[in-house]
A and B are shown apart, each in its own frame.
Chain A
């Protein structure tokens, strides 16, 4: 069974540009969550998508957005990139929505390492 696939693995962008990251969840999983990991802040929750709807959002500015397609694949977009957006972006795949009242596990991809210069 294939795991969570994130593309690209590495990305270098310039300040002010925008970027789109992709996440393909485990087959059959309908929830995709996104996390940002930096040395200073650790792993922080960005948002969760379930059945093409954003269910929950963390404390990040509106420059961070996402969407989910009917096949459960998800994309995350960051506009007007800042140096502080340099981080490892992780997506996690779950069978159920985390806020849906069920116990579930999250399986993470290998992440996309974004460097903003």
Chain B
């Protein structure tokens, strides 16, 4: 399975954009990048996913580099409720039958 590397933690000021990096240098051509977040003691929340192109939805934007070896999740205007553990997951192709969660990045949004 392709692996991801994320910083263990990062701080962000409320109202500012939060840029969460993820390295997936061994990613293959048919592998998707997924982002989830988990607020303490709740179930993981789906944020966004993508293959090659940049993606945007009501929660966030996903920027994938042209070589697909890294990506950045952007929360455009962070709020205190965005404090959570963020997981970057590479799904190893369409036959990968599970999500493989790593340690994630603990994001703390400060007022």
- Contacts from A to B (Cβ < 8 Å): 4, 6, 33, 35, 42-43, 45, 48, 55-56, 58, 88, 90, 92, 97-103, 105-111, 113
- Contacts from B to A (Cβ < 8 Å): 32, 34, 36, 41-46, 49, 51, 94-103
Contacts of B97 in A (CB 8 A): 45, 48, 55-56, 97-99
User: Quick check: A4 and B43 within 8 Å, CB to CB?
Assistant: yes
Q: A55-B97, A56-B97, A99-B97 are in contact. Are A107 and B42 (CB under 8 A)?
A: no
CA distance A51 to B82 in the complex (A): 35
Contacts of A111 in B (CB 8 A): 41-43
Nearest-neighbor residue (CB-CB) of B44 within chain A: A108
A-B contact list, 19 entries, CB within 8 Å = A4-B43, A42-B102, A43-B44, A48-B97, A58-B98, A92-B43, A92-B44, A97-B97, A98-B97, A98-B98, A99-B95, A99-B97, A101-B94, A108-B36, A108-B45, A109-B43, A111-B41, A111-B42, A113-B41
Contacts of A35 in B (CB 8 A): 99
